[in-house]
Amino acid sequence: MLEKYELASENWISNIVEQGDDDALFASGYLQGHFAVVLSQLELEEEQGFDALNEKMQACLVLAREELDDRDYELVEQAWSELSEIIKA
């Protein structure tokens, strides 16, 4: 399951690097760091389904809300929404 998440993330980021603008590159890069941490946490847990992934990513978004200005936060939140839809598909 975690490999599926990682592969989806890698493909998504590759597409952004090829086609994205500066905002998309920023948001995907920021999100990638949190995503990698969450995947490493999930490796140690029994529950590795999408709900567990999303719960941890939502906690990361709370942190992002504190770290980023409103515009950057919206970019990161949209990036997670996009990536999570790809993962769920």
pLDDT, averaged per 10 consecutive residues of the chain (89 residues), comes to 94 96 96 96 94 97 96 97 95
Contact 43, 58 (CB under 8 A): no
pLDDT of residue 60: 96
Q: Mind giving me the DSSP string for 37-68?
A: HHHHHHHTSS--SHHHHHHHHHHHHHHHHHHS
Q: Taking the CB of residue 45, how many other CB atoms lie within 10 A of it?
A: 9
pTM: 0.92
pLDDT of residue 48: 95
pLDDT of residue 78: 97
pLDDT of residue 31: 96
pLDDT of residue 1: 86
Domain spans of the chain, in order of start? 2-88
pLDDT of residue 24: 97
